Amino acid sequence: MRPDSTASLTIDVLVKGYTIDGARQLRLDDRVGSIEVGKLANFIVLTDNLFEVDPLEISDLKPSAVFFEGELVSGSIS
C-alpha cells in the first residue's frame, strides 16, 4: 500500500530519523546520533537554518564547517 501522494514528513522528523533514530537502529546511540558529552561529535554547520528554508531548497544548502570526532576538519565557524 502506497502512502497518499500528499503525505509528507516534517524536517524535524527527518533529521531525527537520520541522526538519533538511525543510531538506535544500529545500536550505536551510546556513541553517535546526538551531540552529548562523551559521544563522537560528527556534524556539519550549514550556511542557513535547515528549519527555516523552503524544503525544496534544502539541497542548495552548503556546509560552512565540518566536524569529525569533535575536530573541525573543513571550513570555519564565524
Give per-residue pLDDT as tens, 1-25: 777 777 788 999 999 999 999 999 9
**pTM for the whole structure:** 0.76
Nearest Cα to 75, choosing from 67, 40, 35?
Answer: 67
pLDDT per residue over 33-63, tens digit each?
999 999 999 999 999 999 999 989 999 999 9
| DSSP-assigned letters across all residues of 19-32 | THHHHHHTT-TTTS
Residue of 35, 38, 58 whose CA lies nearest to 48: 58
How many other CB atoms are found less than 10 A from the CB of residue 67? 19
How far apart CA 71 and CA 78 sit, in angstroms, is 16
